[in-house]
Chains A and B, each alone.
Chain A
């Protein structure tokens, strides 16, 4: 059981083979070595990010405009943020997007994982089919496709029209544009789903057998066995999705042609950061924004870790 939980974050990798059987502990040293081996690409990538990382920390306190030497301006960039209505708008967009789409996509992911876990024929195919969108969701082509699907003559409005409903302008109406992107994000539930699936497969069947002998209903089994046992995986997925969605960029950029429009309704935080840095040439301000985002993500992650004490169950 201990190995099971330990490997949970890497469960996606485990999934490739048939569900690993618990109880076959390897020597610890060897485990660690392979762990670092898996982390190697990240360490290499780190070399390329560490310099910009600190550079941006410095630039956050300057008026750097991309072309001329930066001048130190103290906290001016951070002060200016408080008076920037578009920054507030971008935070609003990002928060709405995150707090609506993350819970929904996790719920959908878990639901599909449970259905798939019931031993379907051709599981591998279904798994791939559901996983595919999450590989594509952030890509330019899919966002373009989304524009057409939800466009005025797209299949969504055609279907609604068939039912006699005049669909709204999903992409160009500021009231609807963000919801279209939320749907896109929910659609990419594949990667949490795969991790859920791995987790579900490692819940020992003997628990369910015992529970059903005791006469527990399916719902009861789900609540008292499945949920507690996969709660570390829910937690992991929650954190990952949260961080990912705070950093949303491509969807907003492509959908609005880089403007965050219509009327700033899809102005994601990172999109605004990008605009500040590369179209308004206020790289100092953009760097400060990056650090604010880091703090926001850190705070939400910390809150989650604290809250996790009350609902995440580690089976010792």
Chain B
């Protein structure tokens, strides 16, 4: 008799639990979107982006300018850290309730665009593309349609903490001519002269921008013009091998050293003072310099003159897009135009999201920039003095490629696979994801 009482309850609990498991799939089936309204009265735009509170403060100030210039439109904005942002964006679209104007990552653009979720920005008369260079537009273009516009232009660079190198008595090599070997030698020397307290190198092996530049220096396109993977197995192997050798030489920290709790400049190892150099997207130079004590030197990446060709490219730091299902496309386009062309708006956001893509806007805000941001803009201009090989839109599946790189970098870090095997696996998995 007891059994009959006990069992159904437990069964019910088990079933309830199982339903919860199945319920995880729930968010996949939201309702349809409301009918388009648009036009007269007060329109509320949904505007989402990723970033930190500092970026949000600047963005809010710009939004205020937009609202003043466009009575009848209010902008409701929301931001998250990049990881959660990406997850949430997917559910917003899936739920049939996409934001009107949104931040899009290079690696996700095609994922969204090829599924018809983004609007063609060329179809809006409100968006003035007159001053936007072709090369920039091409990074948001798919099959002749413009799905994303760069929020700004940036690239990567090496930052070195000069306070540390001065104390250690190590000279920073000339970044106009240095090669990867010079960087390795420099990093190992720093570790040695600080008695192993500070590691000379602290760049992230697993962020794709590193190997992308590395591949370009070797004459390969990491991602090709026809949206495929173009990097060779040897290049990926050497990229991994370089970090393994550098670790063995002492220049790079031991396995498990980087815990990456949070990704902001303030939480970086550079700021903690446990590494002397790092590769960063250089639009963040100001933030890193402030976090690391104000004596960071901004350098070009190694290998630009010693390898086959220049590896640099001026890239969108991220993109702005408009949802195809936006209920207020006209107003959304106005906001888009404001974001890329408005000098007063840019005066609030400055170069937070990269060098503005409209050269006139850049010129207008230059006097307002502090020393660090000026250095950043100068460097972006400098690297473009010579002709650089073209760079292309990231293919569909690029986010899986990024995850795969991260996974394999860890395997290599702990010596679970050799760089050669990791490179082989990387190509297999990445090609599978891209060609799916």
Contacts and interface: CB of A to CB of B under 8 A. Distances in A.
B93 interface: yes
B17 interface: yes
Given A5-B5, A281-B111, A287-B25, A53 B261 contact: no
A5 B6 contact: yes
B256 interface: yes
Given A258-B87, A261-B406, A301-B14, A147 B23 contact: no
A263 B415 CA distance: 12
A9 B6 contact: yes
Contact of A257 (B14, B18, B260): B260
Contact of B257 (A56, A67, A152): A152
A155 interface: no
B36 interface: no
**Residue from the set B1, B25, B93 with the largest chain A CB neighbour count within 10 Å:** B25
**Residue from the set B11, B19, B256 with the largest chain A CB neighbour count within 10 Å:** B256
B83 A67 contact: no
B18 A169 contact: no
Contacts of B87: 258, 278-279
A112 interface: no
Given A169-B257, A263-B411, A297-B14, A279 B86 contact: yes
A298 B403 CA distance: 32
Given A67-B117, A68-B115, A171-B259, A294 B22 contact: yes
A67 B115 contact: yes
B410 A262 contact: yes
Nearest to A288: B25
**Residue from the set B10, B13, B111 with the largest chain A CB neighbour count within 10 Å:** B10
B25 A59 contact: yes
B205 to A, nearest CB: 13
A209 interface: no
Contacts of A262: 410, 414
**Residue from the set B1, B86, B259, B260 with the largest chain A CB neighbour count within 10 Å:** B259
Given A49-B26, A305-B7, A174 B259 contact: no
B9 interface: yes
Contacts, number: 182
A240 B24 contact: no
B28 A67 contact: no
A232 B383 CA distance: 72
A77 B335 CA distance: 41
Nearest to A293: B21
A277 interface: yes
A173 B256 contact: yes
B69 interface: no
Contacts of A286: 24-25, 28
B116 interface: yes
Contact of B414 (A175, A243, A258, A305): A175
Interface in B82-109: 83, 86-87, 90-91, 93-94
27 contacts: A8-B6, A49-B19, A49-B20, A52-B25, A53-B19, A66-B94, A144-B261, A147-B259, A148-B261, A169-B255, A171-B259, A172-B258, A240-B13, A243-B17, A247-B21, A257-B260, A258-B87, A259-B407, A263-B416, A278-B87, A278-B91, A280-B399, A283-B94, A287-B28, A294-B22, A305-B10, A316-B1
Interface of B: 1-3, 5-7, 9-11, 13-14, 16-29, 83, 86-87, 90-91, 93-94, 111-112, 115-117, 255-261, 399-400, 403, 406-408, 410-411, 414, 416
Given A270-B21, A280-B400, 13 more contacts: A2-B1, A46-B16, A55-B25, A56-B22, A56-B26, A67-B94, A152-B257, A263-B414, A280-B399, A290-B22, A293-B18, A305-B7, A316-B2
